[in-house]
């Protein structure tokens, strides 16, 4: 239960980190918060020739508001997202999602970019990124490119980065003030991986019907799922309990997770519908509260 | 894979690290792959850092890094360079007196085998820093990152709440809740600016393998 031998590199600039990544490619792994990689190193499930520690790259640790975009550096700690008022004001969903990531001891070290790059389908930040139409900024030897979150997650624990690329930031569109956000997760125990989780951002029109809806679901297939069928069923319709339940039922078809040691596929399907229904209901309630308070 | 010329600065398997541990500056030569937990235990003899699972599940190796709780088995020692690490050994400047948090754990029987206790005590120190009272459910949530296999947690929750009362009193008579004060030894916790932990003769006075230890 000790890490294997590796060449330890701790660059202090993005450029040097990228240079190392391009030089060593598949022989290297990037160490950000370490909350997923360190267990794999300790258990010898990962055995990189080179470990590129990006914790000294201060350029990756910035949060900047750029008009209607909130850009969060890949090295920002998850616990910072939880408490940063600028984040809460710009993208309320993030503050709701982050407390579900592991335990606080993990979030004090775990990073935003690390969680996205790790691409765990049950993880909270990937689900939020897909729900919010975030853009993931990736840098390699050829320069920077921006990848929509929906294209970034390619499969089970697989992102679209080339061997010479690393995640440097994630750009979230600022959530319109007149909307409600909510996140619901079901796990066997506080801090465990989600059996199913759902994020929802909803806005209402003057009649109180659904004007727009974004719904994302985690833990039900190889990547986070954007529940387009659910959204389509909601938009333009009422917020009555039956309407939400009918729309939520559409998520069942997106559940591809088979039986595993945590849950059967049938149970996960049932759970997915339930968390989606609850997330939408809570988001609608939050949106209605915003309307009442006239903000 | 061959390393190139410009990476020669990364060639070595060991590094000199300088960090502050329990209020004192420490410099050691460590393997780059050594975890912070092993460094604290093996090099500095701070064996309150308990290794249960060594992959971030049990929380028994929790230490405070710059005041925030982290799992020391999921960090490399080289990553702690320039940081301040606190283990439970720092809590009582006077080694013959318990810290109020430790007293509370003893009074409430918040420990049985003691394996999770150092982590629980440090986490308690961290969460009580806001001076707020907390409900059972709040405490239960806040300590959920550390596993205890003896107590069933209820006595730990009682201990956290009791410690909160002690700390709010500050040993100065009575607090707003009418809780009698007293029985609070050294409520002031050794901060980075004090050199409260200077008992170099103690067994855990960092008299580990060769290295240099500078007094803060």
Kindly write down the DSSP assignment for every residue of B57-94, as one continuous string: SS-TTEEEETTEEEEGGGSBGGGGTT-EEE-GGGS-SS
pLDDT tens-digit map of B161-199 = 999 999 998 754 345 554 544 333 333 343 334 343 333
- Whether B59 sits inside 8 A of A103 (CB atoms) is yes
Question: Nearest C-alpha of chain B: how many angstroms from A108?
Answer: 6
Model's pTM, two decimal places?
Answer: 0.90
Q: What is the mean pLDDT of residues A210-223?
A: 96
What lies within 8 Å, CB to CB, of A37 at 6+ separation is A29, A31, A46, A114, A118
pLDDT confidence band for B1 (50 / 70 / 90): low
Question: A17 vs B92, which has greater pLDDT?
Answer: A17
Q: How far is CA A191 from CA A45, A66, A272, B141, in A?
A: 22, 33, 18, 10
Q: What is the pLDDT of residue B199?
A: 37
pLDDT tens-digit map of A44-79 = 999 999 999 999 999 999 999 999 999 999 999 999
pLDDT at residue B23 tops 60: yes
Q: What is the mean pLDDT of residues B86-97?
A: 87
For residue B21, report the phi and psi dihedrals to the nearest 5 degrees: -125, 125
Token readout for B214 is: 């500078």
Give the separation between CA A44 and CA B107, rounded to whole angstroms: 42
Mean pLDDT of chain A: 96
- Which CATH number is associated with domain A179-294? 3.30.390.50
- Whether A42 sits inside 8 A of B75 (CB atoms) is no
Rounded-to-10 torsion of CA A105, A108, A113, A116 = 30
Q: How far is CA A27 from CA A23, A47, B113, in A?
A: 9, 9, 43
Q: What is the pLDDT of residue B215?
A: 40
Q: What is the pLDDT of residue B197?
A: 39
Question: Nearest C-alpha of chain B: how many angstroms from A128?
Answer: 23
Of A5, A27, A34, the CB nearest to B74: A34
Fold of A7-53: 3.30.43
Mean pLDDT of chain B: 83
Mutate to test the interface with A, among B37, B72, B79 (most CBs of A within 10 A): B79
B67 touches chain A (CB under 8 A): no
pLDDT tens-digit map of A82-116 = 999 999 999 999 999 999 999 999 999 999 999 99
- Could you tell me what percent of chain B has a pLDDT over 90? 71
pLDDT at residue B36 tops 90: yes
Radius of gyration of chain B (CA): 19
Q: What is the mean pLDDT of residues A204-213?
A: 97
Token readout for A282 is: 């809570």
**3-class DSSP state of A30:** strand
Cβ(B50)–Cβ(B60) below 8 Å? yes
- Which CATH number is associated with domain A60-173? 3.30.465.10
Place of tokens 């849950």: A263
Place of tokens 């029985």: B183
CB contacts < 8 A, A to B, total 95
Q: Chain A residues within 8 A (CB-CB) of chain B? A: 1-10, 20, 23-24, 27, 31, 34-35, 38-39, 42-43, 49-50, 53, 55, 79, 102-106, 108-109, 189-191
Query: What part of B 41-60 touches A (C-beta under 8 Å)?
Result: 54-56, 59
Question: Nearest C-alpha of chain B: how many angstroms from A17?
Answer: 12
Domains of chain B: 13-90 (3.10.20.30), 93-171 (1.10.150.120)
Domains A60-173 and A179-294 in one fold: no
What lies within 8 Å, CB to CB, of B102 at 6+ separation is B91, B92, B121
Which chain B residues are Cβ-neighbours of A9 within 8 angstroms?
7, 10
Task: Write the burial class of residue A111 (CB in 10 Å: 0-12 exposed, 13-18 middle, 19+ buried).
Answer: buried
Q: What is the pLDDT of residue B190?
A: 39
Q: What is the pLDDT of residue B92?
A: 81
- Whether A79 sits inside 8 A of B3 (CB atoms) is no
| B31 to chain A: closest CA residue | A5
Mutate to test the interface with B, among A19, A79, A105 (most CBs of B within 10 A): A105
Q: What is the pLDDT of residue A41?
A: 98
Domain spans of chain A, in order of start: 7-53, 60-173, 179-294
Question: Nearest C-alpha of chain B: how many angstroms from A22?
Answer: 12
What lies within 8 Å, CB to CB, of B173 at 6+ separation is B180, B181, B182
Of A1, A53, A108, the CB nearest to B68: A108
B14 touches chain A (CB under 8 A): no
Lowest mean pLDDT, pick from A237-246, A259-268, B155-164: A259-268
Q: What is the pLDDT of residue B173?
A: 39
Cβ(A52)–Cβ(A30) below 8 Å? yes
Give the separation between CA B60 and CA B122, rounded to whole angstroms: 10
Q: What DSSP character marks residue B202?
A: S
- Whether A108 sits inside 8 A of B69 (CB atoms) is yes
Q: What is the pLDDT of residue A188?
A: 86
Q: What is the pLDDT of residue A295?
A: 54
Q: What is the mean pLDDT of residues B113-118?
A: 98
Question: Nearest C-alpha of chain B: how many angstroms from A246?
Answer: 34
B70 touches chain A (CB under 8 A): yes
Strands A69-73 and A63-66 turn out to be antiparallel
Lowest mean pLDDT, pick from A228-232, B36-40, B91-95, B146-150: B91-95
Q: What is the pLDDT of residue B180?
A: 47
Cβ(A162)–Cβ(A185) below 8 Å? no
Count of positions (residues) in chain B: 216
Q: In what order do the strands lie in the sheet with B62-65?
A: B68-71, B62-65, B84-86, B14-21, B24-31, B212-214
């Amino acid at each position: 239960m000790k890490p294997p031998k590796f060449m330890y590199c701790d660059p202090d600039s993005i450029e040097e980190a990228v240079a190392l990544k391009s030089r060593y490619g598949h022989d290297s792994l990037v160490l950000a918060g370490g909350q997923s990689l360190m267990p794999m190193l300790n258990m010898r499930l990962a055995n990189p020739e080179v470990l590129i520690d990006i914790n000294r790259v201060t350029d990756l640790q910035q949060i900047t508001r750029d008009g209607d975009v909130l850009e969060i550096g890949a090295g920002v700690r998850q616990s910072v997202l939880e408490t940063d008022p600028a984040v809460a004001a710009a993208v309320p969903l993030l503050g709701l999602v982050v407390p579900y990531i592991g335990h606080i001891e993990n979030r004090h070290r775990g990073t935003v970019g690390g969680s996205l790059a790790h691409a765990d389908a049950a993880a909270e930040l990937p689900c939020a990124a897909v729900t919010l139409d975030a853009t993931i900024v990736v840098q390699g030897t050829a320069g920077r490119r921006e990848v929509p979150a929906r294209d970034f997650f390619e499969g089970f624990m697989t992102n679209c980065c080339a061997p010479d690329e690393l995640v440097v930031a994630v750009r979230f569109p600022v959530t319109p003030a007149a909307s409600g956000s909510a996140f619901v997760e079901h796990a066997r125990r506080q801090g465990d991986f989600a059996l199913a989780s759902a994020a929802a951002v909803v806005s209402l029109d003057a009649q109180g019907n659904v004007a727009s809806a974004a719904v994302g679901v985690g833990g039900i297939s190889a990547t986070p799922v954007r529940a387009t069928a659910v959204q389509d069923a909601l938009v333009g319709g009422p917020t009555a309990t039956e309407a939400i339940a009918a729309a939520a039922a559409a998520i069942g078809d997106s559940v591809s997770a088979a039986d595993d040691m945590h849950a059967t596929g049938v149970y996960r399907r049932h759970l997915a519908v339930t968390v989606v229904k609850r997330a939408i209901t809570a988001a609608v309630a939050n949106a209605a509260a915003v309307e009442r308070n006239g903000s | 894979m061959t390393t190139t010329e410009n990476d020669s600065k990364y060639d070595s398997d060991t590094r000199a690290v300088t960090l502050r541990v329990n209020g004192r500056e420490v410099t050691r030569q460590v393997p780059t792959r050594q975890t912070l937990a092993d460094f604290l235990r093996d090099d500095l003899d701070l064996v309150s850092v308990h290794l249960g699972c060594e992959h971030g599940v049990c929380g028994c190796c929790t230490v405070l890094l710059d005041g925030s709780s982290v799992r020391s088995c999921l960090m490399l020692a080289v990553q702690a360079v320039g940081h301040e690490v606190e283990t439970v050994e720092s809590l009582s400047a006077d080694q013959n007196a318990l810290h109020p948090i430790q007293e509370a754990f003893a009074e409430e029987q918040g420990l049985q085998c003691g394996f999770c206790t150092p982590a629980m005590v440090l986490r308690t120190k961290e969460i009580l820093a806001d001076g707020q009272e907390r409900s059972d459910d709040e405490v239960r949530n806040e300590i959920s990152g550390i596993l205890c296999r003896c107590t069933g947690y209820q006595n730990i929750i009682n201990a956290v709440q009791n410690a909160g009362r002690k700390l709010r009193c500050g040993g100065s008579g009575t607090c707003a809740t009418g809780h009698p004060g007293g029985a609070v030894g050294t409520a002031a916790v050794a901060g980075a600016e004090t050199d409260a932990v200077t008992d170099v003769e103690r067994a855990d006075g960092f008299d580990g393998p060769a290295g240099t230890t500078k007094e803060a």
